[in-house]
């Protein structure tokens, strides 16, 4: 079960606008990679996404604590 701050984080995160995304560019990138490169790139993307999510949650929690004056 997630705590209230985590619930607020996901509620806010759902509503944030996404940056522009061009599927044709992504398709050209994937088409240019060998199977080995694609596997490595996919692993890198997953690792970076997890790191970024963790950093965003940490920052959000810090800002919420500042705003709510939580110890």
pLDDT in tens, 7-34: 888 888 787 777 787 889 989 999 999 9
- pLDDT surpassing 60 at residue 43: yes
Range of the domain at 47: 36-71
In a domain, 70, yes or no: yes
Extract the tokens encoding 63: 């800002």
In a domain, 49, yes or no: yes
Q: How many domains are there within the chain?
A: 1
pLDDT tens digits for range 31-41: 999 999 999 99
Is 31 part of a structural domain of the chain?
no
Question: Rounded to whole angstroms, what are the CA distances from 4 to 15, 17, 41, 60?
Answer: 17, 22, 35, 12
**Is residue 13, in this structure, part of any structural domain at all?**
no
pLDDT digits (tens, 9 = 90+) for 51-66: 998 998 898 888 888 8
What sign for the dihedral angle of Cα 28, 30, 33, 35?
Answer: negative
Q: pTM for this one? A: 0.59
Tokens describing residue 9: 């984080």
């Amino acid at each position: 079960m997630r705590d209230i701050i985590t619930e607020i984080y996901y509620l806010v995160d759902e509503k944030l606008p996404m940056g522009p995304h061009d599927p044709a560019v992504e398709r050209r990138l994937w088409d240019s990679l060998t199977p080995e490169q694609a596997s490595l790139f996919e692993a890198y993307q997953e690792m970076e996404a997890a790191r970024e999510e963790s950093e965003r949650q940490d920052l959000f929690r810090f800002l919420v604590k500042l705003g709510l004056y939580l110890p």
